[in-house]
């Protein structure tokens, strides 16, 4: 048995032809849909990048217990479990967050790994002299993005682009090992994550008439651009999706050539979406968790079932992917995993859950059953709120002395396997929005929240049930104003 997980970052479902988009040039995603099962009700769990990847490893929600951070020593890592059971696991990526303080424990879980340098502000090439930077649109933070302009000098040609190099390494691995057995390849592209940097031939696919200052890195927040600028950034994103589509086609070609469809699972997935002006927002994280951000694409070919060119409406999530791969390689799934293997979902359309949670640490906790989406906002103070960890790091730095000074010790949770953990008060406040409920059947674009007490009470019940099943810290119920419902 063999398996490939082909993962793109920030891949918008609504920008792909299999999900109804008629203007983005992505024929290989359509070709993929004809060879796999397309999931129509797949949702993220924890956002953003590394919280989602912790779910990919553990099959557990991350956002109830801590913010962005590394794998914890007590975490059951799917690629490591595979490795321990004789499956060769290999990671190829240009996703530089794996190699920062907040992600540094993920890549050693694989048997081997390869990292292509230079995406975004990866601390790669060292140049003391400031780089030449074109005129930029608006308030793009050049100090933070200085390294990007240094790195970009070393990608003057398409073959030097990190995405191209990442897929070249992927093709090399597949050609070298396609006749071998018992391996798992995670081929992961940082694209189409911002900045939207694609070669000119992909940008030429779109009728972009923008002639203003350089603009390929939208700032997170309210979309205060004019429509001309917003359309430009959509075309920039679309060009990068088209580039991803071409590389996807190379994987599909090689699977055809080497007859990998016979015995190789293929998963094509993402962590979350990205706002490009929809509902008046740009980026991610700072807005409510609308479907543009969390209703994500997922394609799976499982050779055990032979199901292809089908759409599946069952509610599934990122937490299901680790259990699916462990089940595929006949490795026992950890008892504390929240996710479920998807074999029978694919083969028989059997649902694995009534509802699912999604969100980001210290923010909304959200629940969906596929029809309703319930966004439960924190009460006014958004407290109490604690990180639970023994790996005290954020994205690119360690916890501060101020954070650690009043650290408490918690006895831990089900998944910590009897290990006490640090309980560190979070110092970061989050945005304040109102609790809202949407009926996707009547309002698929989430334009008008509804007032339906019966539906809201049901979604609260499902949310609490899932939080209990995932051993949420007790103060999360207080933070969300849910304590009065616990005894009901």
* 318 and 397 inside one domain: no
Q: What is the CATH number of the domain that holds 62?
A: 3.40.720.10
Q: What is the pLDDT of residues 242-263, one digit of tens each?
A: 999 999 999 999 999 999 999 9
Same domain, 399 and 480: yes
Q: Give the mean pLDDT of the chain.
A: 96
Q: Could you tell me the pLDDT band of residue 303, with boundaries at 50, 70 and 90?
A: very high
Give yes or no: residues 192 and 298 share one domain.
yes
Is residue 329 located within the same domain as residue 399? no
What average pLDDT score do residues 111-125 get? 97
**Of 301, 321, 356, which residue is a domain's last?**
356
139 pLDDT higher than 80? no
The tally of domains found in the chain comes to 2
Domain that holds residue 190: 2-356
Residues 325 and 373 in one domain: no
Cα 165 to its chain centre, rounded Å, is: 22
Q: How confident is the model at residue 380 (pLDDT cuts 50, 70, 90)?
A: confident
Are the beta carbons of 270 and 10 closer than 8 angstroms? yes
Q: Tell me if 75 sits within 8 A of 336, measured CB to CB.
A: no
Mean per-residue pLDDT for 362-391?
95
pLDDT score of 154 more than 70: yes
What pLDDT shows up at residue 431?
67
Look at residue 423 and give its three-state secondary structure. Answer: strand
Query: How far is residue 469 CA from its own chain's centroid?
Result: 22
Q: Residues 364, 338: one domain?
A: no
- Rounded percentage of the chain residues whose pLDDT exceeds 70: 98
Choose among 171, 229, 235, 237: nearest CA to 206. Answer: 235
Q: What is the pLDDT of residue 145?
A: 86
Q: Which of 387, 459, 415 is nearest to 63 (CA)?
A: 387
State whether 59 and 131 are in the same domain. yes
Question: Residue 427: is its pLDDT beyond 90?
Answer: no
The separation between CA 12 and the C-alpha centre of its own chain, rounded to angstroms, equals 11
Instruction: State whether residue 386 is helix, strand or coil.
Output: strand
DSSP string covering 93-145? E--GGGGSGGGTTSGGGSSEEEE---STT-S-S--SSPPP---BSTT--HHHH
pLDDT of residue 425: 95
Instruction: Check whether residue 306 and residue 421 sit in a common domain.
Output: no
301 plus 427 within the same structural domain: no
Confidence bin at 140 (pLDDT 50/70/90): low
> Which pLDDT tens digit goes with each residue over 256-301?
999 999 999 999 999 999 999 999 999 999 999 999 999 999 999 9
**pLDDT for the residue numbered 432:** 75
pLDDT of residue 418: 97
Contacts of 282 (CB under 8 A, 6+ apart): 218, 219, 220, 221, 222, 223, 225, 233, 275, 276
Do 295 and 198 share a structural domain? yes
* pLDDT tens digits for range 182-236: 999 999 999 999 999 999 999 999 999 999 999 999 999 999 989 999 999 999 9
Claim to verify: residue 333 and residue 416 sit in the same structural domain: no
The answer to whether 60 touches 338, Cβ cutoff 8 Å, is yes
Question: For the residues 405-430, what does the mean pLDDT come to?
Answer: 92
User: What is the number of residues in the chain?
Assistant: 488
**Continuous H helices in 332-452:** 343-348, 401-404
* Cα 463 from Cα 457, distance rounded (Å): 10
Dist CA 40 CA 313 (whole Å): 5
pLDDT band at 100 (very low <50, low <70, confident <90, very high): very high
Give 329-367 pLDDT, tens digit per residue.
999 999 999 999 999 999 999 999 999 999 999 999 999
Contact 124, 117 (CB under 8 A): yes
Residues 298, 199, single domain; the answer is: yes
Tell me which of 292, 324, 356 is where a domain ends: 356
Quote the percentage of the chain above a pLDDT of 90. Answer: 94
> Model confidence over 46-82: pLDDT tens digits?
999 999 999 999 999 999 999 999 999 999 999 999 9
Task: Say if residue 141's pLDDT is above 80.
Answer: no
pLDDT (average), residues 319-328:
98
Q: Which two tokens stand for residue 307?
A: 């199901």
Last residue of a domain, one of 356, 374, 389: 356
pLDDT at 465 over 70: yes
Tell me the whole-structure pTM to 2 decimals. Answer: 0.97
């Amino acid at each position: 048995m063999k398996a490939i997980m082909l993962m793109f970052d920030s891949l918008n479902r609504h920008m792909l032809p299999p999900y109804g988009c008629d203007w983005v040039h992505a024929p290989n995603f359509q070709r993929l849909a004809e060879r796999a099962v397309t999931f129509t009700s797949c949702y993220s769990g924890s956002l953003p990048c590394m919280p989602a990847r912790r779910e990919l490893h553990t099959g557990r929600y991350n956002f109830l217990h801590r913010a962005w951070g590394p794998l914890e020593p007590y975490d059951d890592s799917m690629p490591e479990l595979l490795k321990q059971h004789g499956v060769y696991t290999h990671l190829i990526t240009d996703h530089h967050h794996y190699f920062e303080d907040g992600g540094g424990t993920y890549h050693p879980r694989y048997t081997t790994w390869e990292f292509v340098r230079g995406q975004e502000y990866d601390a790669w090439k060292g140049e003391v002299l400031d780089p030449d930077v074109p005129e930029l649109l608006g308030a793009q933070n050049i100090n933070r993005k200085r390294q990007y302009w240094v790195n970009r000098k070393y990608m003057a040609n398409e073959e030097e682009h990190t995405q191209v190099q990442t897929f070249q390494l992927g093709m090399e691995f597949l050609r070298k090992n396609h006749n071998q057995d018992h391996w798992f390849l995670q081929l992961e592209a940082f694209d189409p994550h911002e900045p939207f940097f694609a070669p000119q031939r992909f940008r030429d696919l779109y009728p972009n008439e923008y002639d203003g200052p350089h603009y390929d890195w939208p700032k997170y927040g309210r979309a205060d651009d004019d429509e001309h600028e917003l359309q430009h950034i959509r075309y920039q994103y679309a060009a990068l999706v088209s580039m991803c589509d071409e590389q996807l086609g190379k994987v599909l070609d090689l699977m055809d050539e080497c007859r990998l469809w016979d015995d190789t699972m293929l998963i094509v997935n993402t962590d979350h979406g990205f706002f490009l002006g929809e509902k008046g927002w740009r980026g991610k994280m700072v807005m409510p968790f609308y479907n543009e951000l969390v209703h994500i694409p997922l394609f799976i070919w499982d050779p055990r079932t032979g199901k292809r060119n089908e759409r599946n409406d069952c509610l599934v999530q990122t937490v299901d992917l680790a259990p699916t791969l462990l089940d595929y390689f006949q490795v026992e799934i950890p008892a504390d995993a929240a996710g479920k293997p998807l074999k029978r979902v694919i083969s028989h359309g059997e649902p694995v859950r009534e509802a699912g949670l999604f969100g980001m640490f210290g923010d909304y906790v959200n629940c969906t059953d596929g029809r309703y989406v319930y966004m439960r906002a924190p009460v006014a103070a958004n407290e109490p709120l604690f990180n639970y960890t023994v790996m005290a790091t954020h994205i690119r730095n360690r916890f501060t002395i101020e954070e650690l000074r009043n650290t408490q010790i918690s006895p831990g949770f089900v998944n910590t396997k009897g290990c006490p953990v640090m309980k560190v008060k979070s110092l970061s406040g989050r945005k304040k929005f109102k609790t809202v409920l949407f009926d996707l059947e009547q309002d698929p674009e989430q334009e008008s929240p509804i007032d339906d007490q019966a539906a809201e009470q049901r979604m609260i019940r499902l949310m609490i049930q899932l939080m209990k099943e995932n051993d949420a810290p007790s103060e999360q119920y207080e933070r969300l104003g849910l304590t009065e419902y616990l005894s009901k």
